[in-house]
Amino acid sequence: MDDEVIHNLTCDVELSLAGPTAATVDKRTADVLRKLADRIEKNEIEDGHHQVEDSTGKPAGTVYVDCSVESRVMPGDTDGQVH
């Protein structure tokens, strides 16, 4: 029997940043997203809603993360069961 394991990640990010120029806001936004991406890649963030901060520690928004795993029966599997 050959099962295919599928890992799913849902990640919703909502940021609200302000600054004196568009370039400042763009840089702060990119910094927050890079930090968040690093945390996700290192599996340092658990499922659920989390506050997100900028590099100065100021609130920058929220992130929702939901990781799940599912198994699917592969073609040619003859036991008829969904795994």
Nearest to 66 by CA among 7, 11, 6, 13: 11
What is the model's pTM? 0.74
**What confidence tens digit (pLDDT) does each residue in 3-59 have?**
788 999 999 999 999 999 999 999 999 999 999 999 999 999 999 999 999 989 999
Dist CA 15 CA 52 (whole Å): 8
- Domain boundaries defined on the chain: 3-73
List the end-to-end C-alpha distance of the chain, in Å, as a whole number: 10
